[in-house]
Homo-oligomer: A and B are copies of this chain.
Amino acid sequence: MRIALDAMGGDLAPLSNVLGALAVTKENPDITVVLVGDEQAIRSHVPDQLPANLEIVHASEVIGADEEPVRAVRRKKDASMVVAMNLASEKKVDAAISAGNTGALMTAGLLYAKRMEGIERPALAAYIPNRKGRVTLTLDVGANMDAKPSHLLQYAVMGSLYAEKVLGFERPTVGLLNVGTEEGKGNDLTKHVYPLLKAADLHFVGNVEARDVMDGACDVLVCDGFVGNVLLKSLEGAATTIFSELKQEFTSSLINKIGAAILKPGLLRFKKRMDYAEYGGAPLLGLGSPVIKAHGSSGEKAIKNAILVAARYVQKDVNVVIQQALKSSTEESE
C-alpha cells in the first residue's frame, strides 16, 4: 500500500517526519511512504540511495500553522499538504497524512478528497487512553469549530461504526461530552443533541463529564471540535505536567533517585500507556479518502505511529465499512 506524508507539516518538520518515514519503511516493506515537500530539504535527511519503498514528490510551498486555512489552501496549490491530499483523491496513494494546520487539512480534504456521501461534516477523531485498558474514540477534536446537532449525531454514528468494525468493540457505548451527567444539562448544542442520540440506533449511555473520560465512561465520545480539542489538550497538558513534576521530585536527592530507580519499570509502563505519541495520528472520519492528522508537535515516534495508523485505516477499509453501514441503515429506515 502507498501512503503520502506531508513532509513539511508540524513543529518538528521536516526532520521528524523524514525520520518517522524512514523508520516505517525499514520495518514494513509492504508500506511505501511518499514524502511530499521541498525535495532539497527532504534529501538532506535521507540516504543518497533511497529505500525501495520510499519516494519523494516535490512540492514547492508550505502552509504555516497560523495561516487562514481556506485562503492558504486555495492560494497554495503546490503546498505539501495539498499535493499529498491530491495524491490521495486521485488514488495515486491509499491515504494521506499531515501534522500541519488542522483547519487547512480539513479544507484541503473537503476541497479535494470531498465529503463521503451523506456526511454533512467530516470529523477529526482521537484515541484517549482509559483505565479499562482500551481507548475512548473521541470526535470531533478540532475539524469543525462550530457544530450543529445533526453533525454530532453523525459523529456518533461514524464513531460507533469505526469503534465496532475497526477497533473491534462489541456494541460500543456512545457518550455525549457534557458539564453534568443529568439529562437537561449543558449548552444549547448539547441540549439539542441529547434527544437525537437517545432516539438513534446507538448504544447511547447519556452525558459524560470530562473527568470520567479516562475512567472509560464510554467507548465513543462526541462533542464539537472546539470542546474536543480543549479536552484532548487538557488531558495531554495534565499528564505532561504531572510527569515533569514527578521527575523533579524523584531526582531531588540520592535516596529519591534510588526509590525512583526501583519504580522505573512501572513508571515507564504507565507513561507509555498515557503517551499520545503512541497513538500517533487520528482519522478524519467522513472524507472520501483516508486522511490522518498527526499532532502538530509530533516527533519521530508520533509520525511513525501516524503512518501505521493510516496503514491500518487502509487495511481495514474503514471508509467502505462506514459507507456500507450508512447505506444499509438508510435502506432499513426506508
Contacts from A to B (Cβ < 8 Å): 65-66, 68, 103, 131, 142, 145-146, 177, 179-180, 182-188, 190, 209-215, 223-227, 229-242, 244-246, 249-250, 252, 255-256, 258-263, 266-267, 269-270, 273-274
Partner of A226, one of B103, B179, B258: B179
Chain B, Cβ-Cβ closest to A269: B249
Residues on the B chain within 8 Å of A213, using CB: 234, 237
Q: Is the interface of A mostly helix, strand, loop or mixed?
A: helix
Question: A179 near B145 (CB under 8 angstroms)?
Answer: yes
Nearest Cβ distance between residue A258 and chain B, in whole angstroms? Answer: 7
Closest 5 CB pairs of A and B: A259-B262, A66-B182, A211-B237, A234-B234, A238-B238
Report copies per complex.
Answer: 2
Question: A270 near B249 (CB under 8 angstroms)?
Answer: yes
Chain B, Cβ-Cβ closest to A183: B66
Partner of A210, one of B214, B237, B263: B237
Nearest Cβ distance between residue A68 and chain B, in whole angstroms? Answer: 6
Chain B, Cβ-Cβ closest to A262: B259
Question: B131 near A187 (CB under 8 angstroms)?
Answer: no
| A230-B233 contact, Cβ under 8 Å, with A65-B182, A187-B146 | no
Q: How far is the CA of A260 from the CA of B267 in the complex (A)?
A: 11
Given contacts A215-B237, A259-B259, A259-B260, 16 further A-B contacts (CB under 8 A): A66-B180, A66-B184, A131-B241, A145-B188, A179-B225, A187-B225, A187-B226, A209-B233, A210-B232, A210-B233, A210-B237, A211-B234, A214-B238, A235-B238, A255-B262, A256-B262
Chain B, Cβ-Cβ closest to A235: B238
Chain B, Cβ-Cβ closest to A144: B187
Nearest Cβ distance between residue A154 and chain B, in whole angstroms? Answer: 19
Residues on the B chain within 8 Å of A177, using CB: 230
Residue of A230, A258, A266 contacting most chain B CB atoms (<10 Å): A230
Residues on the B chain within 8 Å of A256, using CB: 262-263, 266
| A245-B229 contact, Cβ under 8 Å, with A214-B237, A262-B255, A262-B256 | no
Residues on the B chain within 8 Å of A224, using CB: 187
Residues on the B chain within 8 Å of A255, using CB: 262
Q: How far is the CA of A68 from the CA of B240 in the complex (A)?
A: 38
| A266-B250 contact, Cβ under 8 Å, with A177-B230, A226-B187, A239-B238 | yes
Residues on the B chain within 8 Å of A210, using CB: 229-234, 236-237
Q: How far is the CA of A183 from the CA of B146 in the complex (A)?
A: 17
Nearest Cβ distance between residue A229 and chain B, in whole angstroms? Answer: 4
Nearest Cβ distance between residue A51 and chain B, in whole angstroms? Answer: 35
Question: B249 near A267 (CB under 8 angstroms)?
Answer: yes
Residues on the B chain within 8 Å of A211, using CB: 233-234, 236-237, 240
Residues on the B chain within 8 Å of A262, using CB: 255-256, 258-259, 262
Question: A266 near B252 (CB under 8 angstroms)?
Answer: yes
Residues on the B chain within 8 Å of A145, using CB: 179, 186-188
Question: B231 near A230 (CB under 8 angstroms)?
Answer: yes
Nearest Cβ distance between residue A259 and chain B, in whole angstroms? Answer: 3
15 chain-A/chain-B pairs, Cβ below 8 angstroms:
A179-B229, A179-B233, A209-B233, A211-B236, A213-B234, A215-B241, A230-B230, A234-B234, A246-B267, A249-B263, A249-B267, A249-B270, A256-B262, A262-B262, A263-B263
